[in-house]
Amino acid sequence: MIQEARLGIGIIGLEGAQAALAADYAIPRFRDLLRLCAVHGRYSLVRNASCIVVSFYKNFTLSFMQFIFAFYCGFSGLTFIDGWFLTFYNVMMTSIPPFFMGIFERDLPSEVLTHRPDLFTPLSHGLYFSCVVFLRWFLEAAFHACVIFYVIYPTMVNGDYNRQHNIYGIMVGSMSLFVLVSVVLGRFALQIRYWQLLQVLGITLSVIVVFAFFTIYSAFTRIGDQSTYWQSYILMSGAKFWLYQLLLFGSLIFIIDLTVLCFQKNLWPTPRDLAEREHLMLLESRRRKREPADQISNLGVV
């Protein structure tokens, strides 16, 4: 039975350790099976699914912007973002948060999951990873890419950056990538359900790496190519750069995505959302019960 199953779980017993040695996981007591499946199994699925969908999202967004630009360059294969920026987009700029999500993410506390085994059932129906979830992330990435491209590209092509510095495509691409990274990191922050120090550190470190890389890369010239020289300083010294960041980041993340998330949680809540709400209400009621006792103890001390 253990050899034919996708995942073998053995129980260490008095009859010997053969089953435990042949299994993928071994537990000392049968009652530990609940925690193994409902808690550890769920967390494993949540972490893997979160890491996969956000990784596809950030690549879909960048690729779709390149796809839109192909219509403007005659499908010549030209990229409007510098090659080094494209390389380090996945290597340095947006790789840390998905990595930490794949290690530390969890959707509900363990005490809720152990008392609500019924929450395990929706996982088999594709709550976190299915064709529908994958399609939703793809459409969201396409929408974000279209908004970023069609807000930045027309305004900068006919703007003062092109006339003053004559670095048409590269400047537009750098501005688009700056905004894209901000929007992607903001979407990561909305996806994270379990905030702790390393999750905050991952988002913060990504922002620092982006600005540091752009600044250092623009401070040097390459042999035969000076299109990116001093580019980040020109961009960040203008009001347009910060206006684009505020406008697009605020509108896409805090107005659109956050509004959709709030409507979903309140109008079409999932069993997970209801369990989370009940847990928060229980914690609030416990806190209120402790307050009078704390006040009485403080009066007694006085």
- Predicted local distance difference test score (pLDDT) of residue 301: 46
Long-range contacts of 7-13 (CB under 8 A, 24+ apart): 9/33, 9/36
Name the residue among 250, 256, 263, 272 with its Cα closest to residue 139: 256
Q: What is the DSSP string of 225-277?
A: B-TTTTHHHHHHTSHHHHHHHHHHHIIIIIIIIHHHHHHHHHHS--HHHHHHH
- Predicted local distance difference test score (pLDDT) of residue 102: 92
pLDDT band at 63 (very low <50, low <70, confident <90, very high): very high
On whether residue 292 sits in a domain, the answer given is no
**Domain count for the chain:** 2
Nearest-angstrom CA–CA distance, 229 and 232:
8
Amino acid, res. 271: P
Name, in order, each residue with C-beta under 8 angstroms of 80's C-beta and a sequence gap of 6 or more.
Answer: 66, 69, 73, 169, 170, 172, 173, 176
18 and 125 in a common domain: no
93 and 15 in a common domain: no
21 and 148 in a common domain: no
On whether residue 10 sits in a domain, the answer given is yes
100 and 12 in a common domain: no
43 and 12 in a common domain: no
Q: pTM here?
A: 0.83
- Predicted local distance difference test score (pLDDT) of residue 302: 43
Give φ, ψ of 27 to 5 degrees. Answer: -125, 150
Nearest-angstrom CA–CA distance, 154 and 158:
7
pLDDT band at 297 (very low <50, low <70, confident <90, very high): low
Check pLDDT > 50 for residue 2.
no
On whether residue 293 sits in a domain, the answer given is no
On whether residue 115 sits in a domain, the answer given is yes
Check pLDDT > 60 for residue 65.
yes
pLDDT band at 1 (very low <50, low <70, confident <90, very high): very low
pLDDT band at 184 (very low <50, low <70, confident <90, very high): very high
Residue range of the domain that includes 169 = 36-286
83 and 8 in a common domain: no
- pLDDT tens track for 76-135: 877 888 888 888 898 888 999 999 999 999 888 888 888 887 888 888 777 788 888 899
Nearest-angstrom CA–CA distance, 62 and 93:
13
- pLDDT tens track for 5-41: 577 777 877 666 777 777 777 888 778 888 888 888 8
Angle at 253 between CA 249 and CA 255, to 5 degrees: 105
On whether residue 153 sits in a domain, the answer given is yes
158 and 11 in a common domain: no
CA 157 to chain CA mean position, Å: 31
26 and 61 in a common domain: no
Nearest-angstrom CA–CA distance, 201 and 185:
12
On whether residue 242 sits in a domain, the answer given is yes
42 and 19 in a common domain: no
On whether residue 191 sits in a domain, the answer given is yes
On whether residue 227 sits in a domain, the answer given is yes
157 and 14 in a common domain: no
25 and 91 in a common domain: no
Check pLDDT > 70 for residue 288.
yes
Name, in order, each residue with C-beta under 8 angstroms of 13's C-beta and a sequence gap of 6 or more.
Answer: 19
More confident residue, 290 or 209: 209
7 and 119 in a common domain: no
- Predicted local distance difference test score (pLDDT) of residue 59: 93
